[in-house]
Amino acid sequence: MKKYLYFAYGSNLNFSDLTDWCYRNNQSIALIPKVSTGFIPDTKLVFNYYSFSRQGGTLNIQDCLGHATPGVLFEVSESDLAVLDKKEGAPYCYERIQTIAITPDGYEYDVVTYRVIHENTQEFVQPSKEYLNIVMEGYSAHGLDTSFLISSAQHNNQCITDKLFVYGTLMQGECRNGVLLSNDAHCIGLGKTNGTLVDLGSFPGMILSENHGHNPVLGELYQLKYPDRILAILDQIEGFNGFGDSDSLYRRVLIHVTEDGGRKMLAWFYVFNQDIDNYTRLIPSGNWKDRS
């Protein structure tokens, strides 16, 4: 039986609510096993659809560079998707779409999720307290940060992160640091994350492959005043063609970075997306500035 990955970001995270709907509608679904938490990148959570059954606004996702929608990946069957289609009113209210989800370990997955048909959307629809509580309970059950959900319910659309981790030519004293400075990004300190650093000649590449071990890669953390503007520029510089494009030179990922004080924070950064077997010069220190 063919399996799919379903990305849930709203009320379907609340199993009690989902089970209740299935009981009332004589349906059956099993959102197990849970594969991982994750994000749909370059989208944001919005309440822009009025649901008569929920008596208020319900969640949707909207394209927005630099944002990311949190949620959970589940393995489902074709019959499970048919049940989800009914629950989401597809294809009349919501539509089933295929997209890319990224996980906290830096990898991409093809997923199925649901988005409101554009003609059914409004600017903003206030959710009912009951619906918001249902989704918040689902978030909490899966360890997701509810602050982004609350922000969306207040029509503020808080960004998932305004941090960028750099480990090569974008660092201070390197040739491309001016790109960050000229776009109102400022360094807030040193940081590190696990990976392998490869010397590509005039610039480095970091990889996440477990085949090459996981050592600390050292770099700098930047706070971005305008994440959408600077990421659009960096996507071009790093040869990132978009999520799911295997031909990209680098991939943009969201991963936890440890700052100097030991605190972990979510940050955007770019990992090398090519076969490193052609590049035999590793940087054991994990520090581009100590490559010689």
> Per-residue pLDDT for the chain (292 aa), expressed as one digit of tens each?
789 999 999 999 999 999 999 999 999 987 767 899 999 999 999 999 999 999 999 999 999 999 999 999 999 999 999 999 999 999 999 999 999 999 998 999 999 999 999 999 999 999 999 999 999 999 999 999 999 999 999 999 889 999 999 999 999 999 999 999 999 999 999 999 999 999 999 999 999 865 555 679 999 999 999 999 999 999 999 999 999 999 999 999 999 999 988 999 999 999 999 877 766 688 999 999 998 7
149-181 burial, b for 16+ CB within 10 Å, e for fewer? beebbeeebbbbbbbbbbbbbbbeeeeebeebe
Cα dihedral sign for 37, 19, 152, 65?
A: positive
What confidence tens digit (pLDDT) does each residue in 81-94 have? 999 999 999 999 99
Cα dihedral sign for 126, 130, 131, 132?
A: positive
For CATH 3.10.490.10, list the domain ranges present in the chain.
Answer: 3-153, 163-290
- Distance between CA atoms of 136 and 71, rounded to whole angstroms? 12
What confidence tens digit (pLDDT) does each residue in 42-70 have? 999 999 999 999 999 999 999 999 999 99
Model's pTM, two decimal places?
0.94
264-289 burial, b for 16+ CB within 10 Å, e for fewer? eebbbbbbbbbebeebeebbeebbbe
User: Looking up tokens 């305008």, which residue turns up?
Assistant: 226
Q: Assign domain 163-290 to its CATH architecture.
A: Roll (3.10)
Closest CA relative to residue 65, chosen from 45, 41, 42: 42
Q: How far is CA 164 from CA 11, 180, 193, 248, in A?
A: 31, 10, 12, 19
Closest CA relative to residue 196, chosen from 213, 221, 220: 213
User: What are the residues whose beta carbons fall under 8 Å from the beta carbon of 252, sequence distance 6 or more?
Assistant: 41, 231, 234, 235, 238, 240, 243, 268, 269, 270
Closest CA relative to residue 148, chosen from 61, 88, 51: 61
Q: Assign domain 3-153 to its CATH architecture.
A: Roll (3.10)
Cα dihedral sign for 195, 71, 40, 148?
A: negative
